[in-house]
């Protein structure tokens, strides 16, 4: 019996998908993982996908009561909202940073999350056929989540469970030693100067990112490394040579130039690549919408279960109906700022239109990126920057370019609020398509996944405000403390929201370095042209990923690239030595990569909970017991040993009886 037939048989034995116990379990996991994600995001700017940890947790809980793979899949779909809905913190705290809000008002914040999240689900439903069932995108985290589910619910999966759990245990141990007790360095980064030019090279030691690189494949990794080469091999040295920051080391100079200028070049490439992606996807998306409309006219019983979405008419009507609470949000926002009724109405119309048009476009881009790189490595903060940039150009035209300072501050606030809706919608669309890929692989019913994700968004929208208010009241944000006498050293950095706010302020007040963005646009056009040429030759080279390679931190990009190169080299070597074992090697590699993601994700959740309870980052740290140099060499040695073990596992010959399967 092959894997799909075995899963279908399992579905027949345990056909229930949505159950009361599953919904309660999914809601509990959503709240727990959202708390961890919000704390990590406000502190470091990084959030994690909760799908895979949720799948493993629910599998353990439901196996005690005889739950099946489809019920388990529904729980992880609902709980996955925790890892994506909280991406609103990448933008929304900017309203506090500029002093427009002095906390997080309940209904406004909840409405941003609820409406943005439900729009994200609505935008993603017509994309399912175009980007999930009708494309060859790898969906690394969707495949990994499916492997986790299969490992607990099929005979073949149980055979690979040892491999998955061994990889998870190793990855979790390394993550605990690195990010928990901090006896191992989390990466190596060195910098040097040649003349006035600063160079920076290095890599992270994250085994989860090695797994991501393996799953996305060599094509996307080469595009990513191309962006790295342009950013760190050309632009950073050139810009530091032309105008180095005074009185800083080469490493600090390189980091400052990358953060302040080169990242904007990457954002420009992402903008061009994103709009090109939307244009390229227009035909399959329209075809997908047409197929959905045709399916809606047929009785549900005539459709295969795995082809049933929420009816497209309901989706369209529901999406349009969300314009009412969204308009109420912006209208109240404008009137409370003292705008006249007519001006507030114009601002409301502009913001609602922006949320729908730009939000739908970015949902398509993020859905494509979910399939290409996975949810965890999608540049959602880059989407926030693009949304803020476009909004910061448009909104001042409505309120008046030469408006008084208070009105300009309102314009910034309106832009940040609209960008928060776009980021939420894009994040949820990103997540939904990843979940739908998992569902496709385990033969789930799409409409049920879409329905429970709506529920997950609703639960998350209710709990996110108390969590934000609790953390802001306890620590404050850098530059925005809630009350006098607080220790600024304990304040949460909110780095991504601070960056988005800085860019919005730069556009509104005319201080943004536009040449960097324009350079990114030109490079983006070149990357799109190269993508088209290579595509004709059967070579994958996503232009959008070049911009991501310039935008994300060097340690993240290099580690993903190493994972892709490791898989490519091992596959080439195995093809020459044992071509009959390629299928088994790939299967084993997916299990290993899935385990690497599971282990590090679980440790991340646990450490975030410990830090939140202890009120400080690094609660378990023993860093003082070893020197920085010792931690670096230990980290490098463990990382190298882990890569060697992974390579040996990938190249292990297949048993004779499995050849040709």
Kindly report, residue by residue over 258-268, the tens digit of the pLDDT.
Answer: 877 888 888 78
pLDDT in tens, 325-339: 999 999 888 888 777
**Predicted local confidence at residue 3, as pLDDT:** 41
pTM value > 0.75: no
Q: Does the structure show a pLDDT above 70 at 617?
A: no
Helix (H, G, I), strand (E, B) or coil at 76: helix
Which pLDDT score is estimated for 328? 92
In whole angstroms, what separates CA 388 from the centre of its chain? 18
Strand partners, 201: 190
Strand partners, 193: 198
Among 172, 119, 29, 70, CA closest to 443 = 70
Average pLDDT score over the chain? 79
Do 232 and 206 contact (CB within 8 A), yes or no? no
Identify the top-confidence range among 24-28, 32-36, 369-373, 652-656: 24-28
Task: Calculate the alpha carbon distances from 190 to 140, 549, 553, 555, 639 in Å.
Answer: 30, 19, 14, 11, 17
Kindly state the average pLDDT of the residues 81-107. 84
Token duo for residue 103 = 């906390």
pLDDT at 503: 77
DSSP 654: P
Q: Residue 615: what pLDDT?
A: 62
pLDDT given at position 160: 63
- Reply yes or no on whether the pLDDT at 580 is more than 70: no
Give me the DSSP letters along 189-250: EEEEEETTEEEEEEEE--HHHHHHHHHH-HHHHHHHHHHHHHIIIIIHHHHHHHSPPTT--H
**How many Å from the N-terminal Cα to the C-terminal Cα in the chain?**
11
* Best mean pLDDT range from 24-28, 71-75, 226-230: 226-230
Average pLDDT of the segment spanning 306-316: 80
What integer pLDDT is reported at residue 155 of this predicted model?
55
Could you tell me which residues are beta bridge partners of residue 608? none
pLDDT at 323 (0 to 100): 93
- Output 397 or 103, whichever has higher pLDDT: 103
479: three-class secondary structure by DSSP: coil
**In contact, 603 and 160? CB cutoff 8 Å:** no
- Can you read off the two tokens belonging to residue 22? 């599953």
Residue 471 and residue 37 in contact, taking contact as beta carbons nearer than 8 Å: no
More confident residue, 42 or 201: 201
201 pLDDT more than 80:
yes
- Model confidence at 399: pLDDT above 70: no
Residue owning tokens 């903060």: 381
Residue 9 pLDDT: 45
Can you give the pLDDT at residue 153?
Answer: 63
Structure tokens at 383: 């989407």
pLDDT band of residue 13 (cuts 50, 70, 90) is very low
**How far is Cα of residue 279 from the mean position of the Cα atoms in its chain?**
22
Predicted pLDDT of residue 641: 94
pLDDT digits (tens, 9 = 90+) for 41-71: 676 565 666 677 777 777 777 776 667 888 8
CA distance 83 to 501: 23
For residues 270 and 543, give the distance between their C-alpha atoms in angstroms, rounded to a whole number: 8
Q: Are 180 and 622 in contact (CB under 8 A)?
A: no
Least confident piece of the model among 177-191, 371-385, 628-642? 371-385
> For strand 187-194 and strand 197-204, is the pairing parallel, antiparallel, or unpaired?
antiparallel
Please state the rounded mean pLDDT for residues 299-315: 73
Share of the chain above pLDDT 70, in %: 81
Higher pLDDT, 129 or 245: 129
Greater confidence (488 vs 450) lies with: 450
Which residues lie below 8 Å from residue 17, measured CB to CB, with a gap of 6+?
70, 71, 73, 74, 444, 445, 448
Determine the Cα–Cα distance for residues 265 and 75; give it in Å rounded to an integer: 40
Mean predicted confidence (pLDDT) in 247-263 = 83
pLDDT band at 660 (very low <50, low <70, confident <90, very high): very low
Give percent of the chain above pLDDT 90: 9
Q: Is residue 271 within 8 Å of 520, Cβ to Cβ?
A: yes
- R_g of the chain computed on alpha carbons: 24
159 vs 304, higher pLDDT? 304
Q: Please, which pLDDT band fits residue 111 given cuts at 50, 70 and 90?
A: very high
CA dihedral defined by 249, 252, 254, 256, rounded to 10 degrees?
-140
Contacts of 248 (CB under 8 A, 6+ apart): 256
Whether the CB-CB separation of 417 and 333 falls below 8 Å is answered with yes
> Which pLDDT score, from 0 to 100, does residue 659 have?
46
Q: What is the dihedral of CA 503, 508, 513, 518, to 10 degrees?
A: 100
Quote the CA–CA distance of 655 and 251 in Å, as a whole number. Answer: 49
Section 379-402 average pLDDT:
71
Q: Which of 217-231, 511-525, 568-582 has the lowest mean pLDDT?
A: 568-582
pLDDT value at position 293?
Answer: 67
Average pLDDT, integer, range 568-588: 77
């Amino acid at each position: 019996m092959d894997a799909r037939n075995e899963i279908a048989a399992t579905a027949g034995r345990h056909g229930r998908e949505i159950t009361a116990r599953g919904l309660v379990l999914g809601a509990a996991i959503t709240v727990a993982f959202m708390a961890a994600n919000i704390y990590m995001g406000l502190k470091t700017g990084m959030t994690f996908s909760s799908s895979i940890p949720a799948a493993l947790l629910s599998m353990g809980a439901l196996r005690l009561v005889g739950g099946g793979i489809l019920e388990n899949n529904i729980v992880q779909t609902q709980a996955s909202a925790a890892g994506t809905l909280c991406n609103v913190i990448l933008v929304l705290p900017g309203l506090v940073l500029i002093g427009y809000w002095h906390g997080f008002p309940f209904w406004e914040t909840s409405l941003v999350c609820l409406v943005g999240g439900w729009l994200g689900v609505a935008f993603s439903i017509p994309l399912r056929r175009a980007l999930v069932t009708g494309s060859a995108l790898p969906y690394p985290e969707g495949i990994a989540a499916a492997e986790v589910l299969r490992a607990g619910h099929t005979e073949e999966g149980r055979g690979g469970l040892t491999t998955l759990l061994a990889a998870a245990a190793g990855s979790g141990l390394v993550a605990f030693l690195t990010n928990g007790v901090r006896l191992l360095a989390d990466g190596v980064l060195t910098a040097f100067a040649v003349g006035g030019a600063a160079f920076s090279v290095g890599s992270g030691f994250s085994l989860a990112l090695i797994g991501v690189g393996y799953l996305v494949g060599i094509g996307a990794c080469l595009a990513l490394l191309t962006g790295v080469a342009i950013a760190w091999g050309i632009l950073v040295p050139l810009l530091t040579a032309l105008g180095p920051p005074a009185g800083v080391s080469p490493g600090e100079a390189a980091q400052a130039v990358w953060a302040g200028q080169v990242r904007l070049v990457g954002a420009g490439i992402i903008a061009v690549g994103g709009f090109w992606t939307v244009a390229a996807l227009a035909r399959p998306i329209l075809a997908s919408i047409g197929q959905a409309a045709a399916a809606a006219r047929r009785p549900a019983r005539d459709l295969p279960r795995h082809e049933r979405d929420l009816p497209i008419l309901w989706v369209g009507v529901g999406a349009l109906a969300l314009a009412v609470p969204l308009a109420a949000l912006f209208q109240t926002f404008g009137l409370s700022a003292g705008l006249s009724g007519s001006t507030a109405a114009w601002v409301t119309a502009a913001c609602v239109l922006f949320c729908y048009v730009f939000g739908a476009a970015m949902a398509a881009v993020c859905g494509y990126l979910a399939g290409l790189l996975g949810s965890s490595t999608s540049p959602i903060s880059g989407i926030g920057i693009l949304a803020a940039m476009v909004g910061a150009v448009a909104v001042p035209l409505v309120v008046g370019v030469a408006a008084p300072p208070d009105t300009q501050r309102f314009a910034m606030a309106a832009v940040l609020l609209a960008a928060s809706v776009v980021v939420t919608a894009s994040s949820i669309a990103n997540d939904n398509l990843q979940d739908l890929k998992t569902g496709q692989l385990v033969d789930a019913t799409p409409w049920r996944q879409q329905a429970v994700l709506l529920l997950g968004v609703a639960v998350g929208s209710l709990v996110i405000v108390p969590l934000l208010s609790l953390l802001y009241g306890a620590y404050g944000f850098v530059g925005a403390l809630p009350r006098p006498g607080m220790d600024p050293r304990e304040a949460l950095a909110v780095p991504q929201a601070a960056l988005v706010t800085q860019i919005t302020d730069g556009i509104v007040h005319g201080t943004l370095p536009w040449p960097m963005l324009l350079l990114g646009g030109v490079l983006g056009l070149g990357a799109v042209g190269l993508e088209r040429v290579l595509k004709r030759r059967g070579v994958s080279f996503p232009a959008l990923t070049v911009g991501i390679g310039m935008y994300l931190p060097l340690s993240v990009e290099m580690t993903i690239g190493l994972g892709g190169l490791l898989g490519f080299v091992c596959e080439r070597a195995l093809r020459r030595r044992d071509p009959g074992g390629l299928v088994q090697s790939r299967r084993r590699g997916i299990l290993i990569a899935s385990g690497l993601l599971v282990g590090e994700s679980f440790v991340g959740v646990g450490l975030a909970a410990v830090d939140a309870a202890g009120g400080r980052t690094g609660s378990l740290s023993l860093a003082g017991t070893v020197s920085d140099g010792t931690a670096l060499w230990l980290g490098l040695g463990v990382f190298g040993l882990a890569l060697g073990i992974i390579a040996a596992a990938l190249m292990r010959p297949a048993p004779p009886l499995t050849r040709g399967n």
